[in-house]
Amino acid sequence: MYLVKSPLLLKWFYPSLTWNKSRSEKIVYLTFDDGPIPNVTDFVLNTLKSFDVKATFFCIGDNISKHPMVFERVKNEGHAIGNHTFNHLKGWKTDDETYIQNILKCQQLTQTNLFRPPYGRIKKSQIKSLKSKVKSLKSYRDSELRTNDSGLEIIMWDVLSGDFDLNLSPEKCYQNVIKNTQNGSIVVFHDSLKAFDRLHYTLPKVLKYLSEKGYQFGTL
């Protein structure tokens, strides 16, 4: 069970998280979670390049370790990188210390100020601890970690493509995105094997549609 469009109540309950960007500018932020994965991530990079679009990739540390060349390609092509934990942990089911350590392990590879919790599941205590932990880490590892004063920015989304849903038709996945995207939307896709059938169909069409509607594409 998931919602394509993030409800206002959730945004109200977690105000310190980023759910969308400015609604007054015609810019959309495409994000890709769970990579890097050979072929799948390469397809995303090729497609983005053909539209001259930059995006943000929330990478799993374990996948970066396994596929360093694909990760290098993401960085070299000018996309933004986000931390998505080392082992794709579910915050609600993980104790805070284990969760934070797993993020820090990923952080050694991603060196970013962006974090997205897997499944969008994170406890308030983890949010708090994450911000302060990274902040204290900053004091002695400033040169290695590109964090700002408030620690990591936690990036959620306002549009979920549903590309991970094996029961969703590719066309419905495409409709999910174009019907819900507006100025400042943060849209979630997955560069994973599971999502590939829907992603392969949807991504080029979304880029074409939104470009024709006059949207620009930004990185977080």
Q: What is the dihedral of CA 175, 120, 65, 139, to 10 degrees?
A: 130
Q: Which is nearer to Zn ion, 115 or 217 (CB)?
A: 115
Residues 17-46 that bind Zn ion (CB under 5 A): 33-34
Shortest Å, Cβ 116 to Zn ion: 7
The Cα 33–Cα 99 span in angstroms is 18
Q: Which is nearer to Zn ion, 33 or 191 (CB)?
A: 33
- 191 is a site residue for Zn ion (CB under 5 A): no
Shortest Å, Cβ 187 to Zn ion: 14
Q: Which is nearer to Zn ion, 23 or 121 (CB)?
A: 121
Cβ contact 37:74 at 8 Å = no
- 118 is a site residue for Zn ion (CB under 5 A): yes
The Cα 34–Cα 83 span in angstroms is 10
H helix or E strand, kind and range, residue 115? strand 114-115
Residue 176: both structure tokens together: 């999910």
Q: Which is nearer to Zn ion, 104 or 160 (CB)?
A: 160
Shortest Å, Cβ 214 to Zn ion: 30
Shortest Å, Cβ 155 to Zn ion: 12
Stretch that binds Zn ion, among 35-43, 116-124, 203-211, 212-220 (CB under 5 A): 116-124
40-50 vs 68-76: helix crossing angle, rounded to 10: 10
Cβ contact 31:186 at 8 Å = yes
Q: Which residues contact Zn ion (rule: CB under 5 A)?
A: 33-34, 118
